[in-house]
Amino acid sequence: MKSTLLTLFLTSLMVSHSYSETLREQLAAREGAGSKKVNPEVKAEFAKGIEAVKDSNVVETAKQIGDKAPDFMLKNATGESVNLAAELKKGPVVLTWYRGGWCPYCNIAMAAMQKELPNIKKAGGSLIALTPELPDKTLTTKEKNELTFEVLTDLNNQVAEEYGLVFNLTPGVEKLYGNFFDLEKYNGTEAGTDKLPLAATYIVDQSGTIVWAFLHHDYHMRAEPKDIVDALNNL
């Protein structure tokens, strides 16, 4: 079973998608294909994990529309510092969190964001992705998905904590992830293996206020890039 699940995770990172598909359709197709290959016990454990995130109320207690976005200074994949306040001087900023390059749904979402990046820029915005991954892993993720927007290492989820996005994995899900990969190698030993950020997306206007948000307890669900562009155009 371990070999089958590991193969599923790795091969899913290389799946290509039709440009005509929405991100929701791509994610649903990935979930459907994966569901057929995972045994019922594993599916049930992941379902429990998703329900636990919902029950934690992290979606409700995270930063919401109308809140001030906490400022931050983080390093990108090449070690350069990026400051939110400085970026906001140029225009509104889209902040999107992803769990790691080990997550097939995150890779699909980042590729979709890259595809929509020209329209995000045309609408006057910039895009920043944040992840607990260590810099060498973020560089791999950028190169693998040919990302040209900033990908920043949020070491130990410090910024995600300020935005209220961090949740605890259930012991069952933590154990299953341990069958696929070593999270400490991705995120560092201090981060541990029992916490991850929601795959949240915010739009922050130039006053530093959150004006649009996508928050969901289910990691299969992500912000639709075209919805982000529409929101930017409506600012």
Beta strand 150-153 pairing with 166-168: unpaired
- Nearest CA among 97, 104, 87 for reference residue 133: 97
Neighbour count for residue 65 (Cβ, 10 Å): 12
Determine the pLDDT at residue 34. 62
User: What's the pLDDT band for 31 if we cut at 50, 70, 90?
Assistant: confident
DSSP single-letter state for residue 198? -
Instruction: Give the max Cα distance, the chain.
Output: 51
**Tens of pLDDT, residues 121-161:** 999 999 999 999 988 888 888 888 889 999 999 999 999 99
Segment 184-197 shows an average pLDDT of 85
- Nearest CA among 191, 235, 217, 180 for reference residue 11: 180
Domain 2-233 has CATH 3.30.70.3040: no
Segment 77-94 shows an average pLDDT of 96
Counting residues of the chain whose pLDDT is more than 70, the rounded percentage is 90
Beta strand 150-153 pairing with 126-131: parallel
Angle between helices 171-180 and 2-12 (to 10 degrees): 80
Mean pLDDT of the chain: 88
Determine the pLDDT at residue 32. 74
User: What's the pLDDT band for 167 if we cut at 50, 70, 90?
Assistant: very high
Determine the pLDDT at residue 11. 39
Cα–Cα distance between 83 and 76 in angstroms, integer?
10
Determine the pLDDT at residue 218. 96
Determine the pLDDT at residue 187. 87
Give the domain ranges of the chain.
2-233
